[in-house]
Amino acid sequence: MLTQPMPRPATTALCLIFCLFLAGCQQQPAEHKAQFFIFGTLLEVSLWDTPPETASRAFGELQDMFQQMHNDWHAWEPGQLTEINRAFQAGLPALASPSIVKLVEYSQQAELKTDGRFNPAIGALVGLWGFHTSDYPIEGPPPAGSQIRALVATAPSSLDITIDGQQLTTSNRAVQLDFGGIAKGYAIDIACDHLKTLGINNAIVNAGGDLRAMGDHGSRPWRIAVRSPGGGIIGSLQTTRDEAVFTSGNYERFRQDQLQRYPHILDPRTGWPVQDVASVTVITRQGWLADAAATALIVAGLEEWQGVAISLGLDQVMLVDETGKAWVTEKMNERLEFVDGVEKEVVNF
């Protein structure tokens, strides 16, 4: 194994570790892995059956791309997005990079189809709750109800944004973009698309269980684990061709006081964290959609998740409720091999 740490940039925390695993006693490495640190998340890229020179070129280019995304899309570290939010607050138009324009477009689609349950314009509310941090858990009581109500009353929405080429304008000064619910998915899409342009068709880009897998692992498909809200895994599945698997949960990132936990996914209509769903897993082709959908379906909750999933065009979804019971669509049930002891109910749509 070869390990080659890269220098850590001063302004962001992005690192790269090369691991080349040799296949048996052959000298050609069969699998190449690299790790990156982006938006406070460790992201691992695995390439199967790729020439070493192509792998190192891919990893170098991905590092630059992830660094750019980290700088441009970060919700609270100073960069392009914080500049855009500052312009919106001042009632001014803002210039955005093509990737941010795309994030706004995707976000608008997700907000529209989820009837506002996914809303990336609630950055001020996310900040008020203290969720603009990578250090979890946050200790302390929730913000004052009056502050929460005041921000909800400003009704920010990504649909308030008009896109004209690379210029963004908003009719609502309360719009503060926070792509925390979609950025990882879109970053993974960009990475996968780039790998394809380099002729790499067998790969996984994995951010702690949120991933997109392409092609296969030699003679067998990629097999991936699905995270359980209680820790560990709830099951595993084989990916086919090119698809994304994303899980959103209320179990890792939260604020807590002596009384209770306040998870980091907020219901934009109330301004309060969603409590009654432990996790949602979505499988679909695009990472951005899987990511945004998993976040939105947490907000939709037990009562509404099926209707919102249909509206998003999804048929492979699992929701785990607070008791640990899994509610799965038929198609998800066909694919997911549960670990022993999981209570589940299959819903048809």
Of residues 281-310, which lie at the interface with ligand AMP (CB under 6 A)? Answer: 291, 294-295, 299
Question: Which of ligand AMP, Mg ion, none does residue 126 bind (CB under 5 to 8 Å by kind)?
Answer: ligand AMP
Q: Min. distance of Cβ 124 from ligand AMP in angstroms?
A: 12
| Least Cβ distance, residue 185 to ligand AMP (angstroms) | 8
Q: 111, 178, 189, 291: which one contacts Mg ion (CB under 5 A)? A: 291
- Any idea what the Cα angle at residue 286 is, between residues 228 and 336, rounded to 5°? 35
Is position 295 an interface residue for Mg ion (rule: CB under 5 A)? yes
Partner interacting with residue 74 (select from Mg ion, ligand AMP, none; CB below 5-8 Å by kind): none
> What's the min distance (Å) between Cβ of 56 and ligand AMP?
31
* Total residue count of the chain as it appears in this document: 349
At 177, list the tokens. 């973009």
- DSSP, res 54: H
> What type of residue sits at position 165?
G
Among 79, 142, 181, 215, binds ligand AMP (CB under 6 A): 181
Judged by CB under 6 A, the chain residues 237 through 266 that form the site for ligand AMP are: 248, 264-266
User: Considering CB distances under 5 to 8 angstroms, the limit depending on partner class, which of Mg ion, ligand AMP, none binds residue 50?
Assistant: none
Told to check if 181 binds Mg ion by CB under 5 A, we report: yes
By CB atoms closer than 10 A (0-12, 13-18, 19+), residue 146 is: exposed
CB atoms within 10 A of CB 95: 14
Q: Are 74 and 84 in contact (CB under 8 A)?
A: no
Q: Which is nearer to ligand AMP, 214 or 294 (CB)?
A: 294
Question: How many residues bind to Mg ion according to rule CB under 5 A?
Answer: 5
Cis peptide before 137 (omega within 30 of 0): yes
CB nearest Mg ion: which residue? 295
178 binds ligand AMP (CB under 6 A): yes
Number of C-alpha atoms within 13 angstroms, CB side, residue 17? 9
From residue 279, give the alpha-carbon distance in Å to each of 65, 78, 103, 191, 219: 30, 31, 24, 25, 32
Restricting to residues 102-141, which ones interact with ligand AMP according to CB under 6 A? Answer: 118-120, 126, 131
